[in-house]
Amino acid sequence: MPTPKDSGHESAAGAQIKPATGKLGVMLVGMGAVATTLIAGVEAVRRGKAAPIGSLTQLGTIRLGKRTDNQTPLIKDFVPLADLQDVVFTGWEIFPENMYEAAKHAKVLDKELLEEMKEYLESIQPMPAVFDQHYVKRLNGTHVKKGRSKCDLAQQLRNDIQEFQSKVDRVVVLWTGSTEIFLEPTAVHQSLEAFEKGLLEDDPGIAPSQIYAYAALKEGVPFANGAPNLTVDLPCMQELAKITGAPICGKDFKTGQTFMKTVLAPALKTRMLGLRGWYSTNILGNRDGEVLDDPESFKTKEESKLGVLDFILQPKLHPELYGDIYHKVRINYYPPRGDNKEGWDNIDIFGWLGYPMEIKVDFLCRDSILAAPLALDLVLFLDLAKRTPELSHLGIQEWLSFYFKSPMVAEGLYPEHDLFIQSMKLKNTLRHIMGADLITHLGLEYYD
């Protein structure tokens, strides 16, 4: 009987993973709402003032063995993750505000909480950022690095990373900045050589976020991107990641509406319910909303958001159900809401004999509150991947698809967008690297 339980353990599988001892340095690119919510939140958790809700690494459990075994440890007790006490934050930002001031401007967290941690938050000051308004029209920063060329800027970032590395044991870099304008890969991105030449020649195809990604990977440091702009989803970067053993993964945190979409679309498909149209509109009033009000930045986001349905629903396999879908995504800057985002979905479905039905979902969410725990998990899991020989050499960490609107996969493979497949992939990867049996949910043995 072909169940996975028959296959033997490789003894001491997890033993090859390096332990998570010492300090883990987290470098955030863009220290606005998401970054301050992450930093203040981690500190609040460390002080026992709040719980890291939404974080799989902190609260998630993993079932091992049979349902009747009652073996469900915390993930952080099962795999060797860095402890929150060992996490140290720094980063870059185009405004010179310290984290206390930045958090107050972001208006995400309660004043009371921020006041309590004022001293800690004030102690974190951003380094000057690499920035070019050409790539983010609606922003205009003052706390910006100057350089002779993009290559020079990359070198400055590498210096920043090296300096931070000297103070901590391991480093991860995470883009928590704004969405850049829509760019498509060009010749400059096709190889590491071409990219490095492009850096020297200030190629316009190289946006700041790519310079950060390049600097991180060059240093062998894992890199993830919370926004939808091109960064490591480029041949040159994948080449570099393999060379330096730097784990990379997808882009654009899957938080509000797309999170919901990758939950509901699989549900419809599981039940073979047809889809005629899906209209999604968002209102939000934070800096992200302002940036996305610029059509060029919106296009970057739109591409990231629109792809989801096709991959989940597989219209080619099911043309009668999903062959003719009208999918529209709108984002509207709406200041009255601040960081509180509202996503409204209207879903036109059809069932038995073609009869139409409708699902409407209104998600009153909070952008940074949803993003912060994803940022934390990615940092900790990327650090785990770096320490796991079986994973670090792969470059792309497909098992982290769970966190992204645009997961990253090997060439020739379609991405998995279904949240539940992503979750299973993540957990079975953890089981696998620790030498535990994979779960298939077959479970006939209970009836014998």
- Residue 365 C-beta: closest distance to a second copy, Å: 5
> What's CA 295's distance to the chain center, in Å?
23
**Could you say whether residue 413 binds a second copy (CB under 8 A)?**
yes
Strand intervals (E) in 293-339: 326-333
Task: Spell out a b/e string for 128-142, using b for 16 or more CB atoms within 10 Å of the CB, else e.
Answer: bbbbbeebbebbeee
Q: In terms of Cα–Cα distance, which of 174, 160, 171 is closest to 82?
A: 171
Q: Which is nearer to a second copy, 120 or 334 (CB)?
A: 334
**Could you say whether residue 243 binds a second copy (CB under 8 A)?**
no
Q: Which is nearer to a second copy, 194 or 438 (CB)?
A: 438
Distance CA 268, CA 293 (A): 31
Q: In terms of Cα–Cα distance, which of 211, 213, 204, 214 is closest to 184?
A: 204
Work out the angle between the directed axes of helices 192-200 and 208-218 (0-180°, nearest 10): 120
Distance CA 107, CA 81 (A): 31
- Binding to a second copy (CB under 8 A) within 345-404 occurs at 346, 348, 350-355, 357-366, 368-370, 372-373, 390, 394-396, 398, 402
**Could you say whether residue 55 binds a second copy (CB under 8 A)?**
yes
- Residue 125 C-beta: closest distance to a second copy, Å: 23
- Residue 424 C-beta: closest distance to a second copy, Å: 5
Pick from 2, 12, 85, 166 the residue near a second copy by CB under 8 A.
2
Q: Which is nearer to a second copy, 2 or 19 (CB)?
A: 2
User: Sign of dihedral through CA atoms 296, 408, 383, 257?
Assistant: positive
Q: Which is nearer to a second copy, 131 or 298 (CB)?
A: 298
- Residue 205 C-beta: closest distance to a second copy, Å: 27
- Residue 198 C-beta: closest distance to a second copy, Å: 27
Question: How many residues touch a second copy (CB under 8 A)?
Answer: 117
Q: Which is nearer to a second copy, 71 or 186 (CB)?
A: 71
By three-state DSSP, how is residue 104 classified?
helix
> What would the two tokens of residue 73 be?
């440890």
**Could you say whether residue 311 binds a second copy (CB under 8 A)?**
no
> What would the two tokens of residue 235 be?
């041949």
**Could you say whether residue 437 binds a second copy (CB under 8 A)?**
yes
- Residue 19 C-beta: closest distance to a second copy, Å: 22
Token match 């863009």: residue? 30
Q: Which is nearer to a second copy, 154 or 371 (CB)?
A: 371
Q: From edge to edge, which strands make up the β-sheet containing 127-128?
A: 127-128, 87-93, 24-29, 170-175, 223-225, 248-253, 404-406
- Residue 354 C-beta: closest distance to a second copy, Å: 6
- Binding to a second copy (CB under 8 A) within 94-153 occurs at 109, 113
- Residue 398 C-beta: closest distance to a second copy, Å: 7
- Binding to a second copy (CB under 8 A) within 177-216 occurs at none
Q: Which is nearer to a second copy, 66 or 158 (CB)?
A: 66
Site string for a second copy, 270-309 (x = CB under 8 A): xxxxx-xx-x-x-x--------------------------
- Binding to a second copy (CB under 8 A) within 5-44 occurs at 6-10, 37, 41, 44
158 contact partners, CB below 8 Å, separation of at least 6: 215, 218, 219
Phi and psi at residue 170, to the nearest 5°: -145, 155
